[in-house]
Structure 1
Amino acid sequence: LGAEGTAGSVRTVGRHRAHLGFNRRRFPDPTGENNHAPRRIVARWPGHMVDLDVKKVGVIPDGGGWGVHGLASEQAEQ
């Protein structure tokens, strides 16, 4: 836009692009091809990257969850 003589804030332009759905990097390419080059993730030293799996711990009522509160409950059959 600056080359055409149109002045505007970078933040304003970014906000309008996000509103129109053009806030992803692949969209500005006229051919529609993904212009983001894939890169390899390399650990700098042993133990640098750690895979952590997180599981939510919840309270399951006696008899199970679906049978008490879910699809098999009397409320769902009504």
Structure 2
Amino acid sequence: MTIGARDRGTVKLSASLPAADVAYLEHYARRHRLPSRSATLHAAVQALRERELEAQYVEAYREWEESGEAAVWDVAVADGIEPEA
């Protein structure tokens, strides 16, 4: 465990995974030069967080466009910009 990990309150846990998933984790760790299964699982959790955050941004953008604010913003952004000749 690194000092930074201690600062974040690292928790040790036990997990049961199918053998094929463990083999994949080990292969992924070697390919990406991660130091351990824990580091590999941490990377997987981070990827899940990023995927969920991306979906939240997509939803927020959709709501913004549907609210009519996007059209108002387009007018404000174009204010004072002269078209190319």
TM-score by length of 2: 0.22
Q: Could you say which structure has the higher helix fraction? A: 2
TM-score by length of 1: 0.23
Bigger radius of gyration among the two: 1
Which fold has the larger relative contact order, with Cα–Cα distance below 8 Å and residues 6 or more apart in sequence? 2
